[in-house]
Structure formats: structure tokens, C-alpha cells
Amino acid sequence: MVGRYVLSLLCVVSAANAVWPEFRFASYYGDHMVLQKAPERAVLWGYASDRSKVFVILAGQQEIKKQAAYVQNGTWRVTLDPVNAGGPYNVTAVQQGPAHAQVTLTDVLFGDVWLCGGQSNMVFLLSKVFNASEELALAPKFSHVRIFMAALELSKKELIDLPKVEMPWSLPSTELLGNFSAVCWLFGRYLYETLGYPVGLVESCWGGTPVEAWSSPRALHKCSLEEQEDNSYLSVSPNEMEPSPKRDNSVLWNAMIHPLLNMTIQGAIWYQGEDNTQYHLDKYGCSFPAMIDDWRASFHQGSGGQTAADFPFGFVQLSTHFKGAVKDGFPELRWHQTAGYGFSPNPRMQNTFMAVALDLPDEGSPWGSIHPRDKQDVAHRLTLGARAVAYREKGVSFQGPFPVKVLLSQDSINIFYTQAISVSLSITIFEICCTKVQEPCSSDSKWLPAPIMQWGRSSVQVSAAMCEEVVSGLRYAWRDWPCDFKACPVYSADQELPAPPFTTNRWP
């Protein structure tokens, strides 16, 4: 009898002195956050004792819902019932058991959550754009567009949570937005003006990084990129000539994307590629679509099927860098961004949308011409794509003119476009490929200017008179810097959207 009493007393003392794991939400949940609205279901998770029970209570708008969470291996997880757009709500997680605790998050909204990724042009701050002071002054008017930023972290293995948070969920303010991605914010703001309900923006990007760093080993394997030499590769940037660990395979996927997989999201936007103009350029037509496929599958699985398996993915086709460059990889990278189709969405990259940016150069940018300051047009073009592709809005034009048929002859070439066009004769950026025999053209072939002769409602005729050999191909805007600001020759009829670059061969 005494033995049992002593044993019971020891158990009580042991329980009193036990060190239980901190009960909390995962790093990317917090006050002011936006969770994915119905019909999808938001996923919440955090840390708890395995010997406890966890309940999550959603309270707001005179409504209270209580759901039990699943607890295992020191974490808890719950998939909320669908919640319509709106708020605010309080979200309270309660731990019952040996270590009772509760945590409440306030001012939570439900809307659409978009992930913003990429390198320095996605990082580019709102405080650096044209008319920055005016843009920043608008912040208080958009309190239902909330922002979050992951910290810059690397990892050699996949992490389940963000190691650090640079900016927790916040209401927009002049100060905070000055240090937030311009493209991400403007996209979210423009989208909110269309949708009329909350938008959550999650920034997870890092300047000077290749697609390989943001890709899982699975995605890299599909493009035979899983093997990487030691020390990665050297940057071509004048102020960054040493090998950089942030460029290693999968290190940013592991630390800055994989931890987010449990989150239910509406879609993603992406601005990256400059680093790949000098690194695995010829593989980008495989590695970029493979990354998109893998992100989609991973977010779908991580969210328990709540994030769509084909969630909409928007991206920015590269702008410009060197005005006089002949061969620097930019034209080829733009083409590879579309998996060799020239437009988006396409059969290889379905449910995607693209913002063409080659007509937005900024030679006088204080941050280098590779970082043009007009991010408003970039975000506007992305928003058009999201409205048409992600939200299926009818009558929204989001693609510039693209050839549906090209008729090549020895004297002239006729290009027929997908839509009505506006044409300017200010410059010539059509080029014809001349070969001695009937053979496919490449970047190393002989390319000559092809002046515009005449045009119709949806067609352009260019001259082939300069070619004294065989006319074997045609290309358009195949330069790093094809035209000055909004001064390319071919736009949509309303002069809003530029024609993207293309290249075509007469001989397969």
C-alpha cells in the first residue's frame, strides 16, 4: 500500500516538473492574417504535447465554431470548415491535458492567399518604384490587403516550419510597405479592387537566385539537374563575384517554400530568371515548368487537398538589362519561360499567365537597369492574367498579340495575329534568318532586319528583300533591349499589351 502511494506521489511530482513543448501556432500564423476562404478550407497547425487534446475555436460575426485538432509527434493540425470571405474573426487554439494552455489570434480575415516568389525584381521594394511616395500614401485605404514576409534562410534539408519570420502578418502601412515587394503588393492591391474581399500576400523571395535553389530534388531530377558541382557557380554581378550558398540546389525550397506547404493558397506569382541567363540557360525550358508542377503537387498534398492541384501560377517574362547587348541570354530565357511556346497558358504550362515586360526598360534606374522601376505596369498585367485565368472573368484581355500563322516567301513575310493590333513604324525588330541551304535557324544563324511594309487589322507584312539566300526563319524582339519604354512596334489594338517575342523556323 505504501509502495503504491509513493509511486503515485512520484508521478504527480514528475508531472508537475515536466517540461512540455510550448503550445503555439506555426510561425506563419498570427494576428491580422488572411486565411483561404470557401470553397477551400484553411489549414491551421502548431506545436503541442502529444498527451494533450487540442481544440480550435473560430469566433466572429456572432458565430462560434469549435473543431478538434489532430495531435501527433509534437504538432497539432486542423482543417477548418469552409468560411466565406470576410471577417474579422478571433481564432483560439486550446490545449487540454497535463499542460493546459491557449493562444488567440485576433483580427483574422478570410479571403484569397497568394504566394509571391522569385529573385530581385520580386524583392524590389515599393519605396523604390516610380511615384513611390504616392503609392505608399495609399496604404491605409487597403486595410483588407494583408502582408507577410518570410526571412532569408537556407537549409540542406526540408524544414517543416519557417526558421524565422521577417515580417509577421500585418496591416499595410507606409513604413511596412516601404520594405515590401512592389510587384507583390501592387498585384494584391489591384486584385482587391476587382474582387472586393480580403487578399493575403505571402512574400518568400531572395535576390540573385536561380530556379534550381527554389526547386525540390524531385523537380531537379526531372531535368537532370540534381547533381551540382561544389561551390555552385559564380555570379556575373560586379558586386557579387564569390560563390554563394543561396544558389545551391534546393536550399531555398527547403527553408522558404517547403515550410509553407500546409498553407491553403489560391495561387502564386513569380518574377525570376535573370540568374539563369548565365546558368543552365538551356535547361530553363524544363526546370521552370518542372518547378511549377512540383509546387502544385506539393501544396496540394501538404494542405490535405485544399490547395488546388493545378493552382493558378502567374509569372513575369523578363524585362531588360543591357541596352547594347547582342548575346546575353535574355531572349532565350524569355522563350524558355514559356517552355518554347512563346505564350502562356500553353499545353505544357496550363493554368498559368504571363506578364510581358520587355517594353518597360529603365536605363536610368538608380538600382541598375536590370531593376526597372515601373512595377505598376508589371503588376497590372499580372492582375489581368489572374482575372482571366485564376478567376475566369469573361472579356478580360490579358495576352498580347501572338502569331497564329506565318507565311514566308522569298520577297516578303506575312504574320497573322491572334487579335487586332496596333502597329508603329518607329523601329524594326523583326528579323529574318538567311541560310545557304534549307536548314533550321538558331541564334548563331545569319539574322537580318526585316522592315515592316504594311499591316492590316490583325496582320503585318515585313520585307525579306535583304536576304539574298534562302529565307529560313523569322523572329521578333529577339534582343535583350528590343525597344524603348512602351515603344515596341506591335501592341494589342487598345495599345495596352505588347506582343511577346517569338521565333519560328521554316524548316523543322
Domain count, the chain: 3
Final residue of a domain: which of 65, 87, 108? 108
**In a shared domain, residues 95 and 120:** no
Same domain for 208 and 353, yes or no, is: yes
- Residue 66, classified by CB atoms within 10 Å of its CB into exposed (0-12), middle (13-18) or buried (19+), is exposed
Domain check: are 275 and 407 in the same one? Answer: no
pLDDT tens digits, residue range 462-476? 999 999 899 999 999
Task: Tell me whether residue 431 is in a domain.
Answer: yes
Mean local confidence (pLDDT), 245-272:
97
Enclosing domain of residue 302? 110-390
Instruction: Out of 48, 80, 108, pick the residue that ends a domain.
Output: 108
**Which CATH number do you get for residue 146?**
3.40.50.1110
Q: Is residue 397 part of a domain?
A: no
Q: Does 100 share its domain with 119?
A: no
Which among 80, 108, 136 is the end of a domain? 108
Q: Tell me, yes or no, whether 13 lies in a domain.
A: no
275-287 average pLDDT score = 96
pLDDT, tens only, 109-141:
999 999 999 999 999 999 999 999 999 999 999
**What's the pLDDT at 229?**
56
* Whether residue 245 is found in the same domain as residue 304: yes
Q: Model confidence over 194-250: pLDDT tens digits?
A: 999 999 999 999 999 999 999 999 999 999 998 765 444 544 444 454 568 999 999
Stretch 188-196: mean pLDDT: 98
Residues 39 and 126 in one domain: no
DSSP character string of 431-488: EEEEESSS----TTSEEEE--EEEE-SSEEEEE-TT-SSEEEEEEES-SSS-SSTT--
Domain contains 398:
no
Residues 89 and 137 in one domain: no
Q: How distant is the alpha carbon of residue 40 from its chain centre?
A: 21
Q: pLDDT per residue over 1-24, tens digit each?
A: 434 433 333 333 334 444 557 999
Calculate the average pLDDT of the chain: 92
Residue 314 confidence (pLDDT) above 70: yes
18-32, 285-299, 365-379, 488-502: segment of lowest average pLDDT: 18-32
The answer to whether residues 146 and 217 belong to one domain is: yes
pTM of the model: 0.93
State mean pLDDT over 321-327. 83
Residue at 2 is within a domain: no
